[in-house]
Chain A
Amino acid sequence: MTSAISVSGLVKTFGPTRALDDLDLDVRTGEVHGFLGPNGAGKSTAIRVLLGLLRADSGTARLLGGDPWKDTAALHRRLAYVPGDVNLWPNLTGGEVIDLLGRLRGGLNKARRAELLERFELDPRKKGRTYSKGNRQKVALVAALSSDVELLILDEPTSGLDPLMEAVFQDCINDERGRGRTVLLSSHILAEVEALCDRVSIIRGGHIVETGTLADLRHLTRTSISAELAGPPNGLTDLAGVHDLVAEGNRVRFEVDSDQLDPVLKQLVSTGVRTLTSQPPTLEELFLRHYEDAK
C-alpha cells in the first residue's frame, strides 16, 4: 500500500517554541486518517508544512510523491484544504468563494456542489461578513468536497457545526472514502474520529506519540470487565495484567491489559461465569491516558 503523506523527523521552531519536534506521520492512500491532539499540539503547524505554507527546519515530508515546499502548485492541483479558521472576504458571497476556490484548483463538480449546498443547508447568496462561524466552515467544506481531488486535508473542519451538520459531514466523508479519496482529518472531537477514521495518529508537543488503527491502539490498552461468578473469585489478583480489582461477594469488576485477556478469561471460566460485560476502551480514555501520562 502506498503512502499519500509520509513525514519523518520533521522539526519546525518559531523562535524559542518547538512547534514540531521530530514528527513522523504516515497516511496511506485511500484511508481516512485521524490526526488527534489538543489545542497547540502542532496539528495546524504540521498541516501548514504539508501545504507548503511553512518551511520545515529539518526532516523530510512527501506529499502525493512530491515535495510540499518545492512542488507546491503541482501538488495543490491534487488536494483540497479546509482551514481551521475560515475567514471569508466580507463582500464576496459564499457561492462566489466556492467557485473561486474551485476554479483556482482547476474546476469543480457542479452537480456535487449543488448537492452539497443542499445537504449542508447553506445559502450561497449571502455575503461573507454575514455568515456565522459554522456557515463559513460550510463554505470551505463545500468548496473542498466538490473538487475532484485525490487528497482532502481538513483542519478541525467541524468545530463550528451543530450535531445535525456534524452527521451530514460524517456522511460526506464516508462518501469520499467510497470514492477512493485520502483524507487527513485533524480533530479533537473523539467521537468523530472514532466514527470515521481507519487509522489515527495522536500528537503531543509536536511529536506523534501513538499511531495505528483504533483496534491496534485499543490493543495497547485495558478492557473493563465486570462479571458475576458462580463462586468466590480466586486467583485473579495473582494474574498478570489485572488492575483495579473490586470484589463484592461473587461479583467482580476490574480492568485488564488487552493482551492478557485470554488467561484472565480462562480463570473466570474455571470458577463459572453467570453474567459478563466487557467494555473496550473508548478513544477518550486512550487519549486522556496519553495526555495524563505527560503531566
Chain B
Amino acid sequence: MIGTWQLVRLALRRDRILLPIWVLFLVGVTYSTTTALAELYDTQQSRDLLGVTANANSAFLAMLGPLHDWSSLGGLVVWRWGVFSGLFVAIMAMLVVTRHTRAEEEAGRTELIAATVVGRHAPLAAAVIVAGGTSLLIGLLQALALIGTDLDPAGAFAFGLSTASVGLVFTAVSAFTAQLSENSRVSNAIAGGFLGVTYLLRAAGDAAGESGPQWLTWFSPIGWTEHVRSFADNRFWVLLLPLATFVLVTGISAYIVSRRDVGLGLLAARLGPAQGTIGSPFGLAWRLQKGSLIGWSIALFAVGVIYGSVAQAVGQMVQDNPALGQIVSKIGGADAMVDAFFATVTQLLGLISSIYLVQAVLRLRSEETSFRAEPILATPVSRWGWVASHAVFALVGGAVVLAAAGLGLGLVYGVQTNDLGTVLPQMLGAALVQLPAAWVIAGVALVLFGLFPQLTGVSWAVVSVALVLTLLGPALQLDQWMIDLSPFTHVPKYPDITFGPLAWLTVVAVVLLAAGFAGFRRRDLST
C-alpha cells in the first residue's frame, strides 16, 4: 500500500476538471430539482394528486420507482431524482476506477509506476479512494444542499448517503471487473452491463406496483436506495447492504491483485490462428463490432423480456384498484394504459439503441486515431468502402438490436396473453419504428466524423440531449420547439403508427449520412 497517497494525488491531478464537473452536476441537479418541485407542487392538494397518479402510472414506476412520501417536498425529490442520482454516481465511479486501474495498466503506465517504490495494491487502493471518496463527497454535498432548502436533515442525509452508497458499490464492482480482462473497454462493458441489470431489476420490480414482483428490487443496489425510503421512514439500516457489498467486492479484487501478473487479466490471452480468413473491410468490421452487436442484442432482448413480463401486471394493477380504474377509464381503460406503457417503453428502447448506433459509428474515429485505419486505407480499399463497412453496423445493426428488443417484449407479452400471433408483430413494429430516429442520431455522428473529426466526441452530447429532451422535456416544461429537436419526439406513438414521420426522418438520416461520407472522402486522415 506504500505510495497510495502519491497515486491518489496523481489521480486527482489528472481528473481535476472531470471530478469537479461530476460533483457540481450531481449536487446542482439535486438543488434545482428541489426548487423546481417546490414551485410545481406548492399545495398539499397537488401533491396528493401526484401521489395517486405517480404510483399508478407504470411508465413512471418503471423509470423512477415508487413515490413513498408525498406529504413532504423531500419525498418528491427522492422520487423524481433518487434513482437517476444513483445511476449517474455509479457511472462516475465506474469510469474513474477503470481509468485509473485497467486503462493505466493496458497503456503500460502501471508498469512504470510499479517499478518505483509503490505497493502492489496501491494503484487499486488509490482508484477506490478517489472514486469512493468522490461518491461520499457528492452524497454529503447533496444532503447539505437539501438541508439548505429547509428540508428535514435526517431525510437529507438518508438521501445523500443513498446516492453515495450506489457510488461505493460501483467503485467496488469496477475494481473487480478491472481485474478480469486485459482490455479496459471490456472492463467498462462488464461493469456497465451490471449497472444496466441493476437498473432493470428495480424497474421490473417497481413497474407494476404491488401487483408486480417487488422482491426483485432487493437484488439491485439502486433498489436498495428506494428501500431506504428517505424522508418517509429513513431506514438507514438498509445502507448496511451496499456497505457490506463494497467491503466484500473490494476485498475480492484486492485478493486477485495479489495473485495476478501486472498487465494480465484473469481471463488469460491465448494463442490464436496463424492463418487469417478475413479478406474484406466488412470482414474486419464484423470482427471488431460483432461482440458489441451481439452483446447489445442480448441486453435489449433482456430489457424487452423484463418490460414485456411487467405489461400484464400493468393491466392487472388497474383491475385491482377501483379508484385507479375510474381515473384510467376516462383515458380509455386498462388497454389504453397498457398501450401507453408500451409507447413509453419502446421510446426508451429507441433512445437506448441510439447509444449503440453512435458507438458503432464512433468506431471509425477510434480506428483512425489509433493509426489502424491507415494500413487499411493504404490498400485498394476505398474511403467509401471503409466507412460503409462500419456504418452498416449502425444502420443494419441498429435494426437488429431494436428487433431483439421487440422480440423480447412480444414473446413474453404474447405468451402471457395467449395471443402471440398478434402481439409479436405488433411489438416488433413498435420497436422498429424507432429506427429512423436512431438513424438520424447516427447520421449526426457520421457528419461530425466526416466533416469535423476533432469534434466526433460531441456525438455523445447529441445522444444525451436527445435523451434529456425526450424523457425530461415535458416534465421540465421546456418549449415545444426544443422538445421537437429530438428526432424521437416525432416517432409515431404505439399503437398509432403513421408512416409520414418515418419517411421524412429517414430522408433526414440519408442526407446526413451522405454528407458524412462525402466529407470523409475529401478530408485528410487526422489524429
Contact = CB atoms under 8 A, between A and B. Distances in A.
Interface of A: 48, 51-55, 72-74, 76-77, 79-81, 83, 85-93, 95-101, 103-106, 123-127, 129-130, 140, 153
Interface string B438-462: 0000000000000000000000000
B322 interface: no
Contacts of B279: 99-100, 103-104
Given A48-B525, A83-B374, A85-B371, A101 B272 contact: no
Contacts of A105: 379-380
A260 to B, nearest CB: 47
Given A48-B525, A53-B525, A85-B371, A95 B379 contact: no
A123 B524 CA distance: 34
A74 B277 CA distance: 23
Nearest to A104: B379
Q: Indicate the member of B374, B376, B522 with the most A CB atoms within 10 Å.
A: B374
B269 A95 contact: no
B525 A87 contact: no
Nearest to B275: A95
Nearest to A105: B379
Given A87-B371, A104-B381, A125 B271 contact: yes
What 8 pairs between A and B have smallest CB-CB spacing? A99-B276, A96-B276, A103-B279, A93-B272, A104-B379, A81-B378, A95-B274, A125-B271
B278 interface: yes
Given A83-B375, A95-B273, A130-B269, A103 B280 contact: yes
12 contacts: A81-B375, A87-B372, A89-B287, A93-B271, A96-B275, A96-B278, A101-B376, A101-B379, A103-B278, A104-B379, A127-B272, A129-B269
A54 B275 contact: no
A85 to B, nearest CB: 5
B487 to A, nearest CB: 33
Contacts of A51: 377-378
Given A104-B379, A129-B182, A54 B525 contact: yes
Contact of B376 (A93, A99, A104, A140): A104
Contact of B377 (A53, A90, A93, A129): A53
B110 to A, nearest CB: 15
A201 to B, nearest CB: 21
Contacts of A140: 375
B3 interface: no
Contact of B371 (A54, A83, A106): A83
Contact of A125 (B182, B274, B288, B381): B274
B380 A87 contact: no
A103 B277 CA distance: 9
Given A53-B374, A87-B370, A126 B271 contact: yes
Contacts of B374: 48, 53, 83
B475 to A, nearest CB: 43
Interface string B258-278: 000000000001111111111
A126 B278 CA distance: 16
Contact of B382 (A72, A127, A153): A72
Contacts of B182: 129
Nearest to B288: A89
B183 interface: yes
B379 A124 contact: no
Contacts, number: 117
Nearest to A94: B274
B51 interface: no
Interface of B: 182-183, 269-281, 283-284, 287-288, 370-372, 374-383, 522-525
Nearest to B379: A104
Q: Indicate the member of B274, B374, B377, B379 with the most A CB atoms within 10 Å.
A: B379
A152 B10 CA distance: 45
A95 B377 CA distance: 19
B277 A101 contact: no
Contacts of B372: 87-89
A73 B376 CA distance: 11
Contacts of B272: 92-93, 95-96, 125-127
A100 B278 contact: yes
Contact of A100 (B284, B378, B524): B284
Nearest to B284: A100
A88 B283 CA distance: 16
A53 B372 CA distance: 13
Q: Indicate the member of B376, B377, B522 with the most A CB atoms within 10 Å.
A: B377
Given A81-B378, A92-B276, 6 more contacts: A87-B370, A89-B372, A101-B379, A104-B376, A104-B380, A127-B271
Contacts of B371: 83, 85-87
A85 B374 CA distance: 10
Contacts of B382: 72-73
Q: Indicate the member of B276, B280, B371 with the most A CB atoms within 10 Å.
A: B276
Contacts of A96: 272-273, 275-278
Nearest to A117: B274
Contacts of A91: 287
B272 to A, nearest CB: 4
A125 B525 contact: no
Nearest to A98: B276
A143 B326 CA distance: 74
Contacts of A129: 182-183, 269
B508 to A, nearest CB: 29
A55 B380 CA distance: 17
Nearest to B381: A104
Contacts of B276: 92-93, 95-100, 103
Nearest to B525: A53
A130 B372 CA distance: 16
A92 B524 contact: no
Contacts of A97: 276
Contacts of A54: 524-525
Given A100-B279, A125-B273, A127-B269, A55 B378 contact: no
B278 to A, nearest CB: 5
Nearest to A140: B375
B183 A106 contact: no
Given A81-B375, A93-B272, A129-B182, A99 B380 contact: no
A80 B379 CA distance: 7
A131 to B, nearest CB: 11
A54 B371 CA distance: 14
Contacts of A72: 377, 380, 382-383
Contacts of B274: 93, 95, 124-125
B378 to A, nearest CB: 4
A260 B278 CA distance: 61
Nearest to B372: A87
B278 A99 contact: yes
A264 B270 CA distance: 68
Contacts of A87: 370-372
Contacts of B273: 93, 95-96, 125
A237 to B, nearest CB: 56
A123 B287 CA distance: 21
A104 B275 CA distance: 15
A90 B184 CA distance: 12
Nearest to B376: A104
